[in-house]
């Protein structure tokens, strides 16, 4: 997206969305209202929820359930001001903000082949230019989910590696990237710790004949939190989340793509969009 004239000369807002996305019927109405009331906002990102194709297999629906739970939980916990990423699935930008990007670098979206996360890079560029970005729980974009583990892993490796690549390209953390660096660092610590805790609890349980009440209480709290944060998916999904074991198994897959993506960013060959 580039032009010889200012975008704001012809329009006030620009909508972007992925080809596999369907916007909620009220998305534009709500997003426009929010941006018109807040001139400091450079854009509003959709809250993404997942949908599966109608002919998805039973295994594909299982893979899809974990993604739906992720999206639902992320929408519940997402920070509303100066969000991490303006989602590529759906976003409404202020034309004036995009003009600032064009004036700075001639284009809105940095289309380097090595840029695996254009939406994240564009969000950082907007914040560098002094604009804020936000989201709203009622501005929903339904995005197509992966139906195979292989496809899911490849997608998430691209997201994680692209984020790490961009952070490394920018150099030292700044006020716009420190939260991303902190999230990656916490993930690198928390994921191994969770499974170390499980192994320890099991060893203690087998050696002493019973699991200590404190471990059971802690597990119960985590299970209730997991269930509560996906309550829009219904009671059946809440029960599955509260059981912990299904999402712990999924966490092993998450750990794989997380650590392999980071490793490839530092020691792997350069990667580009395929």
Q: Which residues contact 25 (CB under 8 A, 6 or more apart)?
A: none
Q: Print burial letters for 64-84: b (CB count within 10 Å at least 16), e (below 16).
A: bbbbbbbbbbebeeeeeeebb
pLDDT at 272 over 80: no
Q: How many whole angstroms separate alpha carbon 178 and alpha carbon 169?
A: 14
Q: How far is CA 203 from CA 199, 208, 212, 252, in A?
A: 6, 8, 11, 19
Please, what is the average pLDDT of the chain? 88
Q: Which residues contact 152 (CB under 8 A, 6 or more apart)?
A: 63, 67, 146, 253, 257
User: What pLDDT does 16 receive?
Assistant: 93
User: What pLDDT does 212 receive?
Assistant: 74
- Rounded to an integer, the average pLDDT of 163-183 is 90
Q: Which residue has the higher pLDDT, 154 or 76?
A: 154
| Torsions phi, psi for 142 (to 5 deg) | -95, 115
User: What pLDDT does 5 receive?
Assistant: 64
Provide the pLDDT confidence category of residue 197 given band limits of 50, 70 and 90: confident
Share of the chain above pLDDT 70, in %: 94
Share of the chain above pLDDT 90, in %: 56
| Angle CA 137–141–146, to nearest 5 | 120
- Rounded to an integer, the average pLDDT of 1-22 is 80
Torsion of CA 30, 122, 48, 55, to 10 degrees: 120
pLDDT at 122 over 70: yes
CA 241 to chain centre: 19
pLDDT at 80 over 70: no
Name 140's bridge partners: 47
Region at 112 (left for phi over 0; alpha for psi -120 to 50; beta for the rest): beta
User: What pLDDT does 2 receive?
Assistant: 52
Digit-coded pLDDT (tens) for 143-165: 999 999 999 999 999 999 999 99
pLDDT at 38 over 60: yes
Q: How many whole angstroms separate alpha carbon 135 and alpha carbon 235?
A: 27
pTM higher than 0.85 for the full model?
A: yes
Digit-coded pLDDT (tens) for 207-246: 877 777 777 788 889 999 999 999 999 999 999 999 989 9
Q: Which residue has the higher pLDDT, 127 or 5?
A: 127
Q: Which residue has the tokens 């299982």?
A: 62
Provide the pLDDT confidence category of residue 83 given band limits of 50, 70 and 90: confident
User: What pLDDT does 79 receive?
Assistant: 54
pLDDT at 263 over 60: yes
């Amino acid at each position: 997206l580039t032009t010889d004239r200012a975008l704001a000369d012809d329009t006030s807002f620009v909508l972007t969305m992925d080809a596999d996305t369907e916007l909620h019927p009220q998305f534009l109405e709500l997003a426009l209202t929010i941006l018109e009331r807040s001139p400091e906002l450079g854009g509003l990102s959709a809250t993404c929820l997942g949908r599966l194709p109608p002919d998805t297999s039973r295994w594909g629906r299982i893979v899809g359930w974990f993604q739906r739970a992720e999206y639902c939980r992320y929408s519940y916990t997402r920070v509303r001001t100066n969000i991490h990423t303006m989602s590529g699935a759906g976003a409404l930008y202020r034309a004036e903000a995009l003009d600032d990007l064009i004036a700075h670098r001639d284009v809105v979206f940095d289309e380097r082949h090595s840029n695996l996360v254009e939406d994240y890079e564009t969000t950082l560029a907007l914040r560098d230019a002094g604009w804020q970005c936000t989201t709203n729980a009622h501005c929903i974009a339904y995005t197509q989910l992966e139906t195979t583990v292989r496809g899911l892993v490849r997608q998430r490796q691209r997201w994680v590696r692209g984020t790490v690549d961009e952070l490394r390209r920018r150099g030292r953390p700044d006020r716009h990237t420190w939260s991303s660096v902190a999230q990656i660092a916490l993930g690198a610590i928390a994921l191994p710790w969770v499974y170390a805790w499980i192994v320890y609890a099991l060893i203690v349980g087998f050696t002493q004949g019973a699991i200590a009440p404190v471990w059971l209480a802690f597990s119960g709290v985590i299970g209730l939190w997991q269930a509560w944060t996906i309550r829009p998916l219904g009671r059946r999904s809440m029960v599955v989340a509260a059981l912990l074991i299904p999402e712990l198994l999924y966490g092993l897959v998450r750990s794989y793509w997380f650590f392999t993506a980071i490793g490839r960013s530092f020691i792997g060959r350069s990667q580009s969009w395929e």
